[in-house]
């Protein structure tokens, strides 16, 4: 029956339709936990490490800048359908992480340790803000 085929097509389209304008239509492979293990944790650790020991050369600074870019991309992955827990606070927090990661990339490109330290503060607040609601009821993260 053409009608049911049409509703199947509509149902299929809805399955891949974005919830919010920023959500990609690609179905996710890695879980939120895996994205943390592969990208978010190592990338943010590289940014946080600058406060205790600033990079000494181009290679070191490039790694910090690349980590900031990776962190930004990971924030986008958190916004994809299937990973985003809702279209509200989750998206706001992931967008905040993306914005801070961009600032961190700029600070790293300028080799500005103070600016990076201040962006790191924003990043930690965002990580904890999301975990408070969506992970562990506010247990503080160890840095
Ligand atoms: C938009 C929400 C969100 C943001 C932003 C976020 N996280 Fe998470 N994080 C989660 C959720 C949800 C989990 C639980 C994943 C699971 O176990 O399924 C988690 C888990 C973790 C874990 C445990 C992962 C594991 O191996 O089990 C660590 C560590 C972590 N986050 C660190 C961070 C850091 C550092 C940041 C900031 C740079 C961050 N997170 C930003 C939502 C978020």
Per-residue DSSP letters for 87-140?
Answer: SSHHHHHHHHHHHHHHHHHHHHHTT-HHHHHHHHHHHHHHHHHHHHHHTSTTPP
Condensed to tens digits (0 to 9), the pLDDT of residues 62-76 reads 999 999 999 999 999
Condensed to tens digits (0 to 9), the pLDDT of residues 10-33 reads 444 444 444 555 555 556 589 999
Average pLDDT, stretch 32-43? 97
Residue 122 near residue 86, CB atoms below 8 Å: no
Rounded to whole angstroms, the Cα distance separating 21 from 39 reads 24
Residue 79 near residue 111, CB atoms below 8 Å: no
Mean pLDDT of the chain: 85
Res. 5: pLDDT tops 80: no
* 98 C-beta closer than 6 A to ligand 1: no
Q: Is residue 19 part of a domain?
A: no
Residue 24 near residue 81, CB atoms below 8 Å: yes
**What pLDDT sits at residue 142?**
54
Going from the Cα of 22 to the center of ligand 1, the distance in angstroms, rounded, reads 20
- Check residues 18 and 112 and name the one with the higher pLDDT: 112
Q: Is residue 8 part of a domain?
A: no
> What's the total number of domains in the chain?
1
The protein residue whose alpha carbon is closest to atom 40 in ligand 1 is: 127
Going from the Cα of 127 to the center of ligand 1, the distance in angstroms, rounded, reads 7
Q: Is residue 84 part of a domain?
A: yes
Q: Is residue 2 part of a domain?
A: no
Res. 1: pLDDT tops 70: no
Q: Is residue 35 part of a domain?
A: yes
Q: Is residue 41 part of a domain?
A: yes
CATH of the domain at 75: 1.20.120.10
Going from the Cα of 41 to the center of ligand 1, the distance in angstroms, rounded, reads 8
Q: Containing domain of residue 95, as a range?
A: 30-134
Q: Is residue 17 part of a domain?
A: no
């Amino acid at each position: 029956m053409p009608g049911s085929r049409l509703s199947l097509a509509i149902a299929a389209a809805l399955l891949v339709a974005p919830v919010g304008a920023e959500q990609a239509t690609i179905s996710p492979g890695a879980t939120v936990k895996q994205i943390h293990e592969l990208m978010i944790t190592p990338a943010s650790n590289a940014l946080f490490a600058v406060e205790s020991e600033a990079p000494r050369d181009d290679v070191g600074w490039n790694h910090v800048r690349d980590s900031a870019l990776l962190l930004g991309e990971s924030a986008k992955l958190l916004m994809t359908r299937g990973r985003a827990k809702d279209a509200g606070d989750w998206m706001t927090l992931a967008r905040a992480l993306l914005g801070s990661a961009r600032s961190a990339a700029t600070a790293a490109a300028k080799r500005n340790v103070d600016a990076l330290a201040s962006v790191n503060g924003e990043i930690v607040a965002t990580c904890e803000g999301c975990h408070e609601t969506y992970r562990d009821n506010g247990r503080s993260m160890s840095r």
